[in-house]
């Protein structure tokens, strides 16, 4: 018991290190799979189209935040990926949306409603 009282700080430090290791392992194991990434990239086309419809043009950062918040609501694992990566995925979806607007009058009419 005396040893425990003299070295309590070592035990607290050990517990803290183990907790940090556990959290790091949990975060690493929670990373998305290739299938999850493919699914969200498909879903992002819908999300950016809805953001464009709701917020209109010239609101890029606001739309990005809107899509990010919606994605985190729908796919909790999105919170563990870097925001820059997510922004790149959104840019890809925006490019696809622009292609759809150019060739599909129904999509354009949907956004302009």
CA gap 29, 79 in Å, rounded? 13
Angle between helices 105-112 and 83-103 (to 10 degrees): 110
Enclosing domain of residue 104: 32-112
* Contacts for 81 with CB less than 8 Å, ≥ 6 apart: 31, 32
* Contacts for 84 with CB less than 8 Å, ≥ 6 apart: none
Q: How many structural domains comprise the chain?
A: 2
Q: What is the pLDDT along the chain (113 residues), one digit of tens a residue?
A: 787 778 888 888 899 999 988 887 777 666 677 888 888 889 999 999 889 888 877 778 888 999 999 999 988 888 888 899 999 999 999 899 889 888 888 888 888 77
Q: Same domain, yes or no, for 91 and 65? A: yes
Q: Same domain, yes or no, for 59 and 108? A: yes
Query: Which helix (H) or strand (E) is 98 found in, with range?
Result: helix 83-103
* Contacts for 27 with CB less than 8 Å, ≥ 6 apart: 80
pLDDT of residue 69: 92
Q: Same domain, yes or no, for 68 and 106? A: yes
pLDDT of residue 89: 93
């Amino acid at each position: 018991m005396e040893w425990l009282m003299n070295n309590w700080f070592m035990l607290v430090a050990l517990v803290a290190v183990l907790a940090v290791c556990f959290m790091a392992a949990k975060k690493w194991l929670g990373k998305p799979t290739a299938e999850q990434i493919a699914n969200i990239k498909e879903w992002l086309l819908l999300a950016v189209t809805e953001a464009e419809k709701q917020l209109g043009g010239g609101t890029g950062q606001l739309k990005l935040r809107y899509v990010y918040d919606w994605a985190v609501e729908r796919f909790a694992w999105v919170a563990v990926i870097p925001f820059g990566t997510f922004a790149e995925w959104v840019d890809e979806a925006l490019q696809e949306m622009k292609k759809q607007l150019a060739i599909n009058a129904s999509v354009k009419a949907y956004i302009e409603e």
